[in-house]
């Protein structure tokens, strides 16, 4: 899953991001409430892990903003406030789960898995790409004969290309989508994954056009 982690404690933020990345998730880690609010308005993700006490804008204000915009993305609240009243306030604000500090990383990972299972029960959001169908949420690509076996990292780069088609998607946006914003991963890996993805899609009449120095776009061959 693509997870946005918003936590101002550096050590805790680093520890959570490390654990979630190790579990196979792409994590965008932010520490400031104002920056996080802007990020969530502009970027897609599958889950938000949100601390309540943040500089700039507190977590409950960010959460209230999400729900006012009818944004359904699941949110796990993190806070040092552990009273029943505090939990009720957080859940009433629209949180899907609530975790009081300090907590075990195993428990956080289990709650992430639980929300992922709940999310997978929802109806699929399918996007047509020529004769192919892309499940945006999973993600998974289907041909008329059934699912196409494509590695997760490649699929994570196909999603923004498909959503933006025929517009150009910058290389750094593809990298953020696959690894999370602020990742230290070299952007040259995008070229490798796009090259592999292009070969897999070519037999289905779909091509990825390279715009030198700008990015990539998804096109259908006549």
| Boundary (domain end) residue, out of 120, 153, 182 | 120
Q: Residues 6 or more apart from 149 whose CB is under 8 A from it? A: none
Tell me the pLDDT tens digit for each residue of 137-158: 778 899 888 889 898 888 888 9
Same domain (yes/no): 111, 146: no
- Answer yes or no: is pLDDT of 162 > 80: yes
Strand-pair category, 26-30 with 47-51: unpaired
50, 111 in Cβ contact below 8 A? Answer: no
d(CA 41, CA 35): 10
d(CA 75, CA 4): 10
pLDDT in the model for residue 82:
67
Q: Which domain holds residue 31?
A: 2-120
- Answer yes or no: is pLDDT of 124 > 60: no
Q: Full-prediction pTM beyond 0.85?
A: no
- Answer yes or no: is pLDDT of 123 > 70: no
Q: What is the CATH number of the domain that holds 183?
A: 1.10.10.10
76: its two tokens:
């796990």
pLDDT band at 7 (very low <50, low <70, confident <90, very high): very high
9, 78 in Cβ contact below 8 A? Answer: no
**Tally of domains in the chain:** 2
180, 201 in Cβ contact below 8 A? Answer: no
- Answer yes or no: is pLDDT of 196 > 90: yes
- Answer yes or no: is pLDDT of 222 > 80: no
Same domain (yes/no): 104, 73: yes
d(CA 177, CA 211): 19
Same domain (yes/no): 6, 115: yes
pLDDT in the model for residue 129:
92
pLDDT band at 161 (very low <50, low <70, confident <90, very high): very high
pLDDT band at 206 (very low <50, low <70, confident <90, very high): very high
Same domain (yes/no): 157, 94: no
Same domain (yes/no): 133, 209: yes
Same domain (yes/no): 65, 131: no
3-state secondary structure 32-83: CHHHHHHHHHHCCCCEEEEECCCCCCCHHHHHHHHHHCCCCCCEEEEECCCC
Same domain (yes/no): 77, 20: yes
Tell me the pLDDT tens digit for each residue of 84-121: 777 788 888 888 898 988 899 999 999 998 888 776 54
Same domain (yes/no): 30, 78: yes
Please state, for a pLDDT cut of 70, what percent of the chain lies above it. Answer: 95
Higher pLDDT, 140 or 196: 196
pLDDT band at 31 (very low <50, low <70, confident <90, very high): very high
186: its two tokens:
């070299």
Strand-pair category, 206-211 with 215-220: antiparallel
| Boundary (domain end) residue, out of 66, 87, 120 | 120
Q: Mean pLDDT of all residues in the chain?
A: 87
| Boundary (domain end) residue, out of 87, 120, 153 | 120
- DSSP character for 124? P
Can you tell me the mean pLDDT for 19-23?
86
């Amino acid at each position: 899953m693509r997870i946005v982690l918003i936590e101002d404690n550096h050590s805790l933020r680093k520890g959570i991001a490390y654990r979630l990345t190790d579990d196979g998730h792409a994590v965008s880690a932010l520490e400031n409430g104002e920056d996080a609010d802007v990020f969530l308005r502009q970027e897609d993700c599958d889950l938000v892990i949100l601390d309540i006490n943040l500089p700039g804008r507190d977590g409950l204000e960010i959460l209230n903003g999400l729900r006012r915009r009818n944004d359904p993305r699941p949110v796990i609240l993190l806070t040092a406030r552990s009273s029943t009243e505090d939990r009720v306030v957080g859940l009433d604000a629209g949180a899907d789960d609530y975790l009081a500090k300090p907590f075990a990383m195993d428990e956080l990972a289990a709650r992430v898995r639980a929300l992922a299972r709940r999310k997978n029960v929802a109806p699929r959001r399918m996007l047509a790409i020529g004769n192919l169908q892309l499940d945006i949420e999973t993600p998974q690509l289907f041909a008329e004969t059934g699912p196409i076996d494509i590695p997760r990292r490649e699929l994570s780069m196909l999603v923004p290309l498909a959503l933006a088609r025929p517009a150009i998607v910058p290389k750094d946006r593809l990298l953020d989508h696959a690894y999370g914003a602020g990742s230290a991963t070299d952007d040259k890996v995008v070229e490798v994954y796009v090259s592999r993805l292009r070969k897999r899609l070519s037999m289905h009449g779909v091509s990825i056009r390279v715009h030198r120095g700008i990015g990539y776009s998804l096109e259908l061959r006549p």
